[in-house]
Amino acid sequence: MAPSSNLHLSFEANDTGATILRVKQQQPPWRVVRGFRSPSGETLAHVHNLSGGILDSDTLHCQMDVGAGAQAQVTSTGATRVYRSRSPEGLASQRMHVSIAAGAYLEYLPDQLIPFAGSRFEQTARVELERGASLVWWDRVAPGREASGEVFRFHSLASHFELIACGQPIATERWTLTPLGTPGVTRLDSIAMLGPFRHFASCYVCRAGEPPAYWKTLEAQLQIIADQLSSSEILWGVTSLRAHGLVIRGVAIHGRALASGLVEFWKAAKWSLCGRVATLPRKVH
């Protein structure tokens, strides 16, 4: 088994209220250079992959701690590319553990995940919020390298996401896609699965401790945006979680429409959560 690669980021509020990024551990291919002050007040961290993508032998671990009162924004420097597996045993993996303390705020805004033809990849994320902590977390998945004709040509893609608030699980998302064929598994392009759509995304919006009425009101506001953005080429929906948050989901024929839609939801959700204007993270290369 290939050795694992670890990244540990800690965001801490100092005596003046500014958020400091501390890179406690990083091993190749992970690379974080430094924190940047975003116009909306968060400290921005760009997560680089020096390999240019995820190899079939990669076992990646990432831990992010957002301390009490800290304000953090994390993004990737570009799309996450998952390269072809060279053998049936070649399975790449990425595991994340995120903790957000009381009064802290985290935006996790990566670019899309692109599974190459023949790739095998699984990702796991566990996010824990203390009471008073806030979160915006999105992810976006492409069907492959569409310009190269690689649409749903990966071997397997699996995801497991857990969201914990005030010590209680409020969301668990688990799925596995095997488009190249598994007996008894429906094709991804069937009407029972994605149908004509190729791209899909989700966005979790949470603040631990807010009452159900707050989320029902925000759900209604965001559903108006969902209805405005939906068409024959893209569909959006918004649902409150059992407590402390809501989830937005979208499927689209073209990835660009999905990306711009996520930004619209993020703008509205951030204003509701903290009264600040959402500012897209600038990219560094």
Task: Check residue 68 and report its DSSP letter.
Answer: T
Task: Check residue 147 and report its DSSP letter.
Answer: G
Helix (H, G, I), strand (E, B) or coil at 258: helix
- Give the model's pLDDT for residue 2: 55
Task: Tell the burial category of 220 from Cβ atoms under 10 Å away from its Cβ (0-12, 13-18, 19+).
Answer: exposed
Domain positions in the chain are 5-274
Q: What is the pLDDT of residues 172-213, one digit of tens each?
A: 999 999 887 655 555 677 766 777 899 999 999 999 999 999
**Cβ of 137: how many Cβ atoms within 10 Å?**
22
Q: How far, in Å, CA of 19 to CA of 14, rounded?
A: 6
Q: Which of 277, 282, 251 is nearest to 266 (CA)?
A: 277
Q: What is the pLDDT of residues 52-96, one digit of tens each?
A: 999 998 999 999 999 999 999 999 999 999 999 988 888 999 999
**Cβ of 30: how many Cβ atoms within 10 Å?**
21
Report how far Cα 242 is from the mean position of its chain's Cα atoms.
Answer: 20
Supply the pTM of this predicted model.
Answer: 0.94
Tokens of 88: 């049936």
- Give the model's pLDDT for residue 284: 60
Helix (H) or strand (E) holding 204: strand 199-207
